[in-house]
Amino acid sequence: MREPVTAYVGLGANLGDAAAQVRAALQWLQALPQSRCVAISGLWRTAPLEADGPDYCNAVAALHTRLTAPDLLSALHALEARAGRERPYRNAPRTLDLDLLLYGDARIESPRLTVPHPRWQQRAFVLVPLHEIAPQRVSAAALAAVADQPICRW
């Protein structure tokens, strides 16, 4: 049996009741096979970075999982589909967005998956909640670099 890996998942939603959608997704994450949710950040409000639309509700969860990174990504996509996620265009508003941010210390580059997430260090909505649950994963310099991005508790 595989040893568990600590994976960090970013959660976001900005359609419908975004906070309820993120809370539901956190419950679904806790029910993933071969996985256990070990930390959950608070909920954070951010404005969309690259498009117009309602504010996002964001969070980060830490999972101990025996799933491979590709299997975990597939499970996350299934949860997005369960929430009614559609992808009409890049950065479209969404009912639920689940990003595999980090998978242990793995570096993965494939057509389907890049870990660490390619933009995780550029986004306050990732770094602030990640710092809340895993401060050792976020440097002071990284937080300073996104200090101009508005973020507040939900």
- Catalytic positions: 85, 94, 97, 99
**CB 84: neighbour CB atoms within 10 A?**
12
Torsion angle, alpha carbons of 139, 131, 151, 52, to 10: 90
Three-state SS at 83: coil
C-beta separation of 40 from 61 below 8 A: yes
Distances (CA, A) of 146 to 124, 125, 143: 5, 9, 5
